[in-house]
Amino acid sequence: MSDEIEIDTDDLERRMKGAMESLRHEFSSLRTGRASASMVEPIMVDAYGSPTPINQIGTVNVPEPRMVTINVWDKALVSKAEKAIRDSGLGINPQLNGTIIMLPIPELNEERRRDLTRVAAQYAEHARVAVRNVRRDGMDQIKKAKSAGMSEDDQKFWESSVQELTDKMIAAVDQALEAKQAEIMQV
Report pLDDT digits (tens) over 102-132: 998 877 788 878 888 888 899 999 999 999 9
* Mean pLDDT, residues 33-43: 78
Could you read off the pLDDT of 56-78 as tens digits, one per residue?
A: 999 999 988 888 999 999 998 99
The CATH 3.30.1360.40 domain(s) of the chain lie at: 37-104
Single-letter amino acid code for the residue at 35: A
Considering only CA atoms, which of 108, 119, 29, 90 is closest in space to residue 82?
Answer: 90
- Fold classification of 9-30+109-186 is Topoisomerase I; Chain A, domain 4 (1.10.132)
CATH class (in words) of the domain with range 37-104: alpha beta
CATH 1.10.132.20 placement within the chain: 9-30+109-186
pTM as predicted: 0.68
Per-residue pLDDT reduced to its tens digit, 135-185: 999 999 999 988 888 888 988 999 999 999 999 999 999 999 999 988 888
Question: Exposure string (b/e) for 13-43, b if CB count within 10 Å is 16 or more?
Answer: bebbeebbeebeebbebbbbbebbeebbeeb
Q: Which of 40-44, 48-52, 128-132 has the lowest mean pLDDT?
A: 40-44
